[in-house]
Structure 1
Amino acid sequence: MIRTLIVDDVPLARDKLRHLLAVHADIDIRGEAADVEQARHLLQHQTVDLLLLDIQMPGQDGMQLAQRLPAPAPLVIFTTAHARHAVDSYALGAVDYLLKPLDGMRLALALERVRRQLVQPPPSTPQPLCIRNGAGIEYIPVGDIDYIDNAGHYACVHVGRQVHLLRESIGRLAQQLAPAGFLQVQRAVIVNLARVRSLQHRRNGDATLLLLDGTALPLSRSHRDAFDQAIAQRG
């Protein structure tokens, strides 16, 4: 059973959520809250697997609650009438961002994501990247890699200020490193999602990713859906 807490200041909105959730036999509604203070009180006294969380409420908003969830933190699906917080919500690890009026089919897809995350096995330790050089082989822990781009026939593996050259295709590296949290964001760029700090919109659906060290990387619109989904699934 998925222990669920509904947080919304509008009684009719909470009623609709209960109605939409009634068809999901594995959803166990443990309580409701009309504001962040009530939600925090309920979270202190019981374990919850999932928050269905509105954003604009009296007092503190839902984003502030999501930023300071008690451990173990529940998964979060935002339910709101406003689209402007979507990118920030995924940066917080939200499973999904649903716009009101809520649609039963769209909610069902979000709940399926929740189920997958709750049963997800712990990730195995990724093998280091082996890079041959003149003196032998260097083993680079994949968690230390910021991003990878290419130069001619070589992949450039960026680790802080160091750049290691590897004769391998970007496509093959993207497949190899995907289980470790890497994603192809341009035809010739792979990024470690754990290094992404923020996203800035550009024209025509393209965007720029800013990494923790200030590096700016392009995110093409053809890879945008995959990026949004990967960020949402990180949790």
Structure 2
Amino acid sequence: MIRVLLVDDVALARDKLRHLLAAHRDIRICGEASDIAQARQLLAQEPIDLLLLDIQLPGDDGLQLAQQLAAPAPLIIFTTAHAEHAVTSYAVGAVDYLLKPLDPSRLGLALDRARQRLARERINMPQPLCIRNAGNVDYIALHDIDYIDNAGHYACVHVGRQVHLLRESISRLAEQLAAAGFMQIHRAVIVNRARVRTLEPRRNGDATLVLIDGTSLPLSRMYRAAFDAGMQELPRS
């Protein structure tokens, strides 16, 4: 099933979307939002695969929301009455840009594109880290990793009290593991965002992150905005 969130400030527009999507059995509408603030709240509550997103909305517009989504982010199909934002929408990675009134066949084509991209992403989900050590090969499940920092030319992969050394750069690992919920929080540190318990502000926009096991990690101000956006996507209990 494709988990969908509808974001449009016009109730009749959301009604039409629900009606059109009813013809697609693999679509499950998880929620509806009439503004950006409500959309952010719903995105934080459960994973969403696809946003059907209007552009002109109360508060920040849909393009701003798209630009602020942290990986792993849902796919986006823009649905709007305004043609002038099409080029910008594709620059932020939109699957498609549909003009109102929505045409059922055109919506179907957009959903097919979303299905194809989701299928590729699921095939390409990050595999366990493969770490060679003294002739042995350790396979580290990504959800077991607390954080990764560096020591010289090596990345130190922290799994509880164990530390595995991997000859890889932090920047490359951050890119590789973004889809699995890891975020770079410092030039030398990546964290599994599901392990973060507390953020403690410091001077000049920097902060300290405290993990579930009590470990403290530095959060640099240059990564703060992306970190805040990424944490908003985590499901809340």
If the length of structure 1 is used for normalisation, what is the TM-score? 0.57
Deviation string, structure 1 residues 41-97 (Cα, Å, up to 9, x no partner)? xxxxxx8603569x9xxxxxxxxxxxxxxxxxxx8545xxxxxxxxxx9986799xx
In structure 2, C-alpha distance between the alignment counterparts of 1:129 and 1:231, rounded to whole Å: 23
Q: Give the 5 Å matches for 1:23-34.
A: 26-28=13-15
In structure 1, C-alpha distance between the alignment counterparts of 2:47 and 2:203, rounded to whole Å: 25
- Amino acid in structure 2 at the alignment position of 1:164: H
Q: Give the 5 Å matches for 1:27-42.
A: 27-28=14-15
Distance 1:157 1:77, change over 3 A: closer
1:106 aligns with 2:106: no
Distance 1:21 1:229, change over 3 A: same
CA-CA distance at 1:196 after TM superposition: 1.1
Three-state SS of the structure 1 residue aligned to 2:213 is coil
In structure 2, C-alpha distance between the alignment counterparts of 1:77 and 1:147, rounded to whole Å: 26
Match of 1:215 in 2: 215
Q: Give the 5 Å matches for 1:137-148.
A: 137-148=137-148
Of stretches 172-181 and 107-116 in structure 1, the one that deviates more from structure 2 is 107-116
CA-CA distance at 1:108 after TM superposition: 3.2
Distance 1:157 1:104, change over 3 A: same
Contact 2:154 2:168 survives alignment (8 Å): yes
CA RMSD of aligned residues (A): 3.9
Please point out which of 28, 31, 51 is paired with 1:49.
31
Match of 1:187 in 2: 187
Contact 2:129 2:140 survives alignment (8 Å): yes
Contact 2:148 2:156 survives alignment (8 Å): yes
Distance 1:111 1:175, change over 3 A: closer
CA-CA distance at 1:115 after TM superposition: 7.1
Aligned pairs, how many? 167
CA-CA distance at 1:107 after TM superposition: 4.6
CA-CA distance at 1:184 after TM superposition: 0.7
Three-state SS of the structure 2 residue aligned to 1:223 is helix
Please point out which of 6, 9, 19 is paired with 1:21.
9
Contact 2:44 2:234 survives alignment (8 Å): no
Distance 1:104 1:229, change over 3 A: same
Contact 2:44 2:233 survives alignment (8 Å): no
In structure 2, C-alpha distance between the alignment counterparts of 1:220 and 1:93, rounded to whole Å: 27
CA-CA distance at 1:220 after TM superposition: 0.4
In structure 2, C-alpha distance between the alignment counterparts of 1:190 and 1:48, rounded to whole Å: 31
Percent identity over paired residues = 50
Q: Give the 5 Å matches for 1:1-235.
A: 21-22=9-10, 26-28=13-15, 49-50=31-32, 77=40, 104=58, 106-109=60-63, 116=75, 121=118, 123=122, 125-235=125-235
Three-state SS of the structure 2 residue aligned to 1:127 is coil
In structure 2, C-alpha distance between the alignment counterparts of 1:123 and 1:196, rounded to whole Å: 25
In structure 2, C-alpha distance between the alignment counterparts of 1:191 and 1:2, rounded to whole Å: 28
In structure 1, stretches of 5+ residues that fail to align are: 5-19, 30-46, 56-74, 79-88, 96-102
Higher-RCO chain (CA-CA 8 Å, sequence separation at least 6): 2
In structure 2, C-alpha distance between the alignment counterparts of 1:127 and 1:3, rounded to whole Å: 31
Contact 1:130 1:140 survives alignment (8 Å): yes
If the length of structure 2 is used for normalisation, what is the TM-score? 0.56
Contact 1:93 1:231 survives alignment (8 Å): no
Of stretches 122-131 and 105-114 in structure 1, the one that deviates more from structure 2 is 105-114
